[in-house]
């Protein structure tokens, strides 16, 4: 989102963050630390590149008699929500992070 951009180049995936423009507030108005933004984007890239997941959640399906069959357990978390879960785990392990914003939340640009 915003100035956070990812680039694919010759089969490599890159994460580029401009620290001068990576100032965000989460949905509770808490400032998101640059380290949290970096953690989120790297975790998301890991899920995409190493686990081969798309950005959003998806369903596994099989085709039977011309119909796609899915099951509730076939729902797979996408790369973004993998990164959200990793950030929640980190925040649980480090209570001091609870005071800062969640990079995986719905963000708005910090006007300051």
Contacts of 30 (CB under 8 A, 6+ apart): 99, 100, 101, 102
Neighbours of 18 (CB within 10 A): 10
| Rg, the chain, Cα only | 17
The minimum distance between CB 65 and Zn ion, in angstroms, equals 37
Return the range that interacts with Zn ion (CB under 5 A); candidates 3-11, 20-28, 67-75, 76-84.
76-84
44 binds Zn ion (CB under 5 A): yes
Minimum CB distance to Zn ion smaller for 15 or for 97: 15
Binding positions for Zn ion, rule: CB under 5 A: 44, 80
């Amino acid at each position: 989102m915003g100035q956070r951009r990812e680039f694919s180049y010759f089969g490599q995936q890159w994460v580029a963050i401009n620290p001068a423009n990576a100032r965000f507030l989460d949905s509770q108005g808490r400032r998101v630390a640059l380290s949290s933004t970096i953690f989120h984007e790297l975790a998301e890239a890991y899920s995409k590149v190493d686990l081969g997941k798309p950005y959003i959640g998806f369903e596994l399906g099989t085709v039977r008699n011309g119909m796609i069959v899915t099951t509730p357990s076939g729902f797979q978390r996408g790369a973004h929500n993998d990164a959200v879960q990793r950030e929640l785990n980190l925040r649980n392990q480090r209570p001091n992070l609870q005071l800062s914003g969640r990079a995986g939340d719905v963000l708005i640009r910090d006007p300051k």
